[in-house]
Amino acid sequence: MESENQYYQDAGEMLTEERKHLVSVEDSISTVILINSSICTMQRIAVLEGGKLVELLLEPVKTDVQCDSVYLGIVMKLVPHMGGAFVNIGNSRHSLMDIRRNREPFVFPPFHQETRKTKPNGSEHEAFEGHPLNHGDDHALDNVESIDDVTEIFSQDASGKAVHDDYEENEYEDDFDATESLKGFSNGSLLHMDEVGVAAGIEDDVAGINKHKKGVSLEGFLPFETAIATYSERSKLQDAKDATLTSAGDNKWSKVRKGTKIIVQVVKEGLGTKGPMLTAYPKLRSRFWILMTRCDRIGVSKKIIGMERTRLKVIAKTLQPQGFGLTVRTVAAGHSLEELQKDLEGLLSTWKNIVEHAKSAALASDEGVEGAVPSILHRAMGQTLSVVQDYFNEKVTKMVVDSPRTFHEVTNYLQEIAPDLCDRVELYDKRIPLFDEFNIEGEIDNILNKRVPLANGGSLVIEQTEALVSIDVNGGHGMFGQGNSQEKAILDVNLAAAGQIARELRLRDIGGIIVVDFIDMADESNKRLVYEEVKKAVERDRSMVKVSELSKHGLMEITRKRVRPSVTFMISEPCTCCHATGRVEALETSFSKIEQEICRLLAVVEPKADPEDAKSWPRLVLRVDNHMCNYLTSGKKTRLAILSSSLKVWILLKVARGFTRGEFEVKPFGNDNKVNKNQHQVTIPILRSKERRAKDSGKQVTIIPVKKWKTRR
């Protein structure tokens, strides 16, 4: 045990020197976290770096579904042709699960015929037996003969790994490259068949193929080219086998029916009319670990390098529970084995409680207890504690909280995970609002602005569409010059835009596909500089961000992981006038629609009117908004009078308060004329009955004396 402690101590000392060049830049930036609590609206969390607002997190006081919460849900509908299943987790809208990615549903209780055969649904219940964390095995590391024993790590559940990869943050993935591993043997030497198995295992781990395959019967050594060809052939055969088994019904979802109870986790909150997105492979987060269920994978944050990375791999492999995967988070670097073990014990205890809760809920449901299922098994911590867990570390200067309740909640949590950080939490008690004290309220108000100015005179124009977000970089008036000076001016604007774009992505919490249109540059080296600047700027982002190089047209594609609605979506709602299009219908267009609708209405009027007898003309009521009323009645010869005279109809014009621009309604006046009701109803958009009654209560009436106007003519 002493030798182990000496090893960790030496590794920690080496890490201190090794990480200096990595943390020096980050430490030079002062980071402050502000928490503005509210009882009735929403809680706001702001992250400031160097005095600038870079991240804003919003959490409504009453929220039904939170990302990372675990539920025992009920399958409501299977849609195999769409590759989805709708699950009721107690929300107002059913949640969607992609069954192509989640190939093995977490059915609870497990299918009886599979309990003894399969591992995914049963391993969790026995994962705590025989584990060093539960037996006080102080010599757990003695079984590891060398560091090389854990440098290559494989997954036993390919589908589980693929799903975990999709929903993990960028910094929490291990970086295994199968291609590079295979190239290591391509120096003309011979490759042993055991090494072929290792290489194949790595490739399977990356590609996410099913790895339940038998060993190779060949013996001895093979040339590298032959070995790779053999592996490729095996992969093709395995893919064909997987397709055959799937088509034959050898799929766990084929045994799932409507009403089946399954354990799920929310990986993406609902957005608009869409319900939350679910996964069948729950995972739990702590300060140092990510515990992944139903897989056997080890990962280390990419931000941890050198000896410390190797040390944490050894610890993770040693502490790994049976039936679980582990990922070491960035903040675990430099911490002792005891701290990591204690943190992992807390995660395992949480998962044990989840399983026990699921057992109780499933049993109550089987006994007919109403409301037992769906049930929440584990509620994810709110934004406040999530920020404390993921963001609050030694690099954060201070955290300022303006609520005594939140202050005690944060300090009590820190006493458990990081007592040395408690003195960095401050309670704000001034009468001036917290965000006003730090001068960031104005920046929050500007989040909805489409145009973002740059320091050197340029600007960004951010447009949100259904499919993607487009960002256009404009040079502005400050970009002048000829030849090389013009190219340099363009480069300066693009470099300034690169940093601001990274900030806006974090601040607005923009997710999905982002396409940036930089100002065209002729020099390829300048394009490379802009690309490197964007990559460097997004490194501090907690979400997974991938950046592509600039195309020949100056376009850059950025993808950013989205797990919750953006800040813009949460603090705004669609415009009732333009219906979120950004443009309203021209008055001339609306006038044309009114004319066409009156013609449709006159076509079904009985009896037909005499064009020469004005008294026999049909009488209609036209209800419009105030803008259209002014448009129809302005001028000496009003448009409404001209319309009435040309169509041989009397029109009673009414201004409906509350009508948005472009809305109108045409209907017969009284019961003088028999009209087909299915033909004459015109409300664009159609108003609800309650809204109509409210708007009819206060209305102005304008009567156009068509007959008098005709006599003047």
Domain membership of residue 5 (yes or no) is no
- Least reliable range by pLDDT among 309-318, 450-459, 561-570: 561-570
Tell me what pLDDT residue 104 has: 86
User: Of the residues 424, 441, 458, which one is the last residue of a structural domain?
Assistant: 441
Lowest-confidence range among 200-214, 243-257, 473-487, 554-568? 200-214
Are 90 and 218 contained in the same domain? yes
The predicted-structure confidence for 549-573, as pLDDT tens digits, reads as follows 999 888 999 999 887 777 887 888 8
Neighbours of 220 (CB within 10 A): 7
Q: How confident is the model at residue 576 (pLDDT cuts 50, 70, 90)?
A: confident
Are residues 485 and 340 part of one domain? no
Is the pLDDT at 708 greater than 60? The verdict is no
Give yes or no: residues 254 and 399 share one domain.
Answer: no
Report the C-alpha gap between 128 and 134 in whole angstroms.
7
Q: Does 413 lie in the same domain as 372?
A: no
Residues 389 and 364 in one domain: no
Task: Write down which residue in 522, 542, 571 finishes a domain.
Answer: 571
pLDDT value for 272: 67
Q: How far apart are alpha carbons 570 and 568 in whole angstroms?
A: 6
User: Is the domain of 366 the same as that of 432?
Assistant: no
Taking the C-alpha atoms of residue 93 and residue 126, their distance in angstroms, rounded to an integer, is 34
H or E segment to which residue 68 belongs: none
Claim to verify: residue 210 and residue 348 sit in the same structural domain = yes
Could you tell me if 364 and 319 lie in one domain?
yes
C-alpha closest to that of 153 among 270, 318, 336:
318
Shared-domain flag, residues 217 and 166: yes
Q: Which residue has the tokens 């008690």?
A: 429
Q: 656 vs 82, 301, 549, 621, 634, CA distance in Å?
A: 45, 61, 54, 12, 18
Q: Which amino acid is at 390?
A: D
- Does residue 354 register a pLDDT over 90? yes
> Of the candidates 334, 150, 278, 344, which has an alpha carbon nearest to the alpha carbon of residue 563?
278
Task: Tell me, yes or no, whether 474 lies in a domain.
Answer: yes
What domain range includes position 143?
70-378
Evaluate whether residue 17 is within a structural domain.
Answer: no
Please check whether residues 342 and 323 belong to one and the same domain.
yes
CATH of the domain at 531: 3.40.630
Please check whether residues 193 and 243 belong to one and the same domain: yes
Q: Is the pTM of this model over 0.85?
A: no
Query: Which residue reads 């040339």 in tokens?
Result: 223
The contacts of residue 68 (CB under 8 Å, 6+ apart) are 265, 266, 267, 285, 380
Among candidate residues 357, 378, 399, the one where a domain is terminated: 378
CB atoms within 10 A of CB 183: 11
Residue 21 lies in a domain: no
Other beta carbons within 10 angstroms of residue 154's beta carbon come to 15
Contacts of 526 (CB under 8 A, 6+ apart): 487, 490, 491, 494
Q: What mean pLDDT do residues 592-600 have?
A: 93
- Mean pLDDT rounded to a whole number for the chain: 74
Domains: count for the chain: 4
114-129 per-position pLDDT tens digit: 433 334 444 444 443 4
- Looking at the structure, tell me whether residues 168 and 304 fall in a common domain: yes
- Tell me if 538 is assigned to some domain: yes
Going by their DSSP bridges, the two strands 451-453 and 396-401 should be labelled as unpaired
Q: Would 96 be classed as within a structural domain?
A: yes
**For position 203, what pLDDT does the model report?**
34
